[in-house]
């Protein structure tokens, strides 16, 4: 049997072909070379083994090519993520029997040995981890949605609380900008140099000495409004805004 592998991953298909040494296997990197060869062949290949990631990602359409030459070549996608007929081998046989590439003068059963050997290679965990679309998704934790929603709600509440502090404490815009920078850094201390850089990125150039003064002023606003329970603390790496 002559088998053409057309893929974006020729190294993977060479591994598969090594398990089909009793067949004539050709591996092509993309459609261009494969079509050039097929256009000059008297006898077309018995099977096309395609990379599913090429589906709808190539201008060339293999089905249109077969329509043009009025020849049908059975085809399968070795990394098809949409298996509907049990095992891959059974699914591929189903495609040969019912799909666009069906040749009525060929018995689909003659492909089953090849299909089973291809499947055996690509489902091997040592190999499948390198094949696009073959990785199983991680199971979704039962509490994922609740945890995600709680986190988003908590962050929204925290920012609304920050805005409330700005309004009630009548914090000036220049000081609130500093407070917001510290808030958005979460648990990561910001040094004076890092704060200065963020000011510059927002087109607000500032001196280190002025930054120190602003931190002192912001601390006084926080101390005068203890109900909000904020605190600016200095760590070795820089400054943190805490909720106490």
**How much is the pLDDT for 72?**
73
pLDDT digits (tens, 9 = 90+) for 176-224: 999 999 998 878 999 999 999 999 999 999 999 999 999 999 999 999 9
pLDDT digits (tens, 9 = 90+) for 131-149: 988 877 777 777 666 566 6
CB hemisphere CA count around 187 (13 angstroms): 0
Q: What torsion, rounded to 10 degrees, do the Cα atoms 20, 25, 30, 34 define?
A: -160
**How much is the pLDDT for 35?**
75
**How much is the pLDDT for 135?**
75
pLDDT digits (tens, 9 = 90+) for 36-86: 787 777 788 889 999 988 765 555 667 777 777 667 788 899 998 877 656
- Report the distance separating Cα 158 and Cα 156, nearest Å: 5
Rounded mean pLDDT of the chain?
85
- Report the distance separating Cα 163 and Cα 161, nearest Å: 5
**How much is the pLDDT for 80?**
87
Q: What torsion, rounded to 10 degrees, do the Cα atoms 117, 11, 137, 153 define?
A: -170
Q: Is the pLDDT at 168 greater than 70, yes or no?
A: yes
User: Which domains are delineated in the chain?
Assistant: 2-128 (3.40.50), 144-243 (1.10.10.10)
Q: Is the pLDDT at 100 greater than 60, yes or no?
A: no
Q: What torsion, rounded to 10 degrees, do the Cα atoms 87, 90, 92, 93 define?
A: 180
Q: Is the pLDDT at 102 greater than 60, yes or no?
A: no
Token pair 């090594």 is found at 18
Q: Measuring CA to CA, which residue among 106, 108, 83 is closest to residue 97?
A: 108
pLDDT digits (tens, 9 = 90+) for 1-17: 999 999 989 999 999 99
**How much is the pLDDT for 219?**
95
| Angle subtended by helix axes 173-184 and 208-223, to nearest 10 | 90
**How much is the pLDDT for 171?**
94
């Amino acid at each position: 049997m002559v088998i053409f592998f057309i893929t974006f991953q020729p190294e993977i298909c060479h591994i598969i072909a090594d398990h089909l040494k009793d067949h004539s296997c050709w591996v092509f990197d993309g459609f261009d070379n494969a079509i050039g060869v097929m256009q000059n062949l008297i006898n077309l290949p018995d099977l096309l083994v395609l990379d599913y990631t090429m589906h709808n990602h190539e201008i060339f359409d293999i089905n249109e090519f077969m329509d043009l030459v009025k020849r049908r070549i059975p085809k399968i996608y070795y990394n098809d993520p949409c298996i509907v007929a049990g095992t891959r081998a059974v699914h591929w046989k189903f495609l040969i029997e019912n799909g666009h590439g069906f040749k009525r003068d060929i018995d689909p059963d003659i492909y089953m040995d090849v299909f089973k050997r291809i499947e055996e290679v690509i489902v091997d965990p040592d190999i499948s981890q390198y094949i696009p679309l073959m990785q199983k998704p991680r199971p979704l934790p039962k509490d994922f949605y609740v945890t995600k929603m709680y986190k988003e709600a908590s962050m929204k509440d925290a920012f609304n609380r920050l805005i409330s502090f700005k309004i009630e404490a009548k914090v000036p815009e220049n000081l609130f900008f500093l407070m917001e920078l510290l808030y958005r850094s979460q648990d990561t201390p910001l040094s004076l140099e890092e704060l200065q850089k963020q000011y510059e990125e927002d087109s607000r150039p500032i001196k280190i000495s002025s930054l120190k003064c602003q931190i002192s002023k912001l601390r006084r606003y926080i101390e005068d409004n203890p109900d909000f329970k904020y605190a600016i603390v200095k760590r070795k790496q820089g400054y943190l805004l805490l909720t106490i």
